[in-house]
Chain A
Amino acid sequence: GDSVTQMEGPVTLSEEACLTINCTYTATGYPSLFWYVQYPGEGLQLLLKATKADDKGSNKGFEATYRKETTSFHLEKGSVQVSDSAVYFCALPYSGGGADGLTFGKGTHLIIQP
Chain B
Amino acid sequence: EAEVAQSPRYKITEKSQAVAFWCDPISGHATLYWYRQILGQGPELLVQFQDESVVDDSQLPKDRFSAERLKGVDSTLKIQPAELGDSAMYLCASSSGLGETQYFGPGTRLLVL
Contacts and interface: CB of A to CB of B under 8 A. Distances in A.
Interface string B73-113: 00000000000000000010100001101111111000000
Contacts, number: 61
Interface residues of A, number: 22
A42 interface: yes
Interface in A61-114: 89, 91, 94, 96-107
A94 B43 contact: no
A85 B4 CA distance: 23
Nearest to B42: A104
Interface of B: 4, 31, 33, 35, 40-45, 48, 55-56, 58-59, 91, 93, 98-99, 101-107
6 A-B pairs closest in CB distance: A104-B42, A99-B56, A97-B56, A43-B104, A101-B45, A44-B104
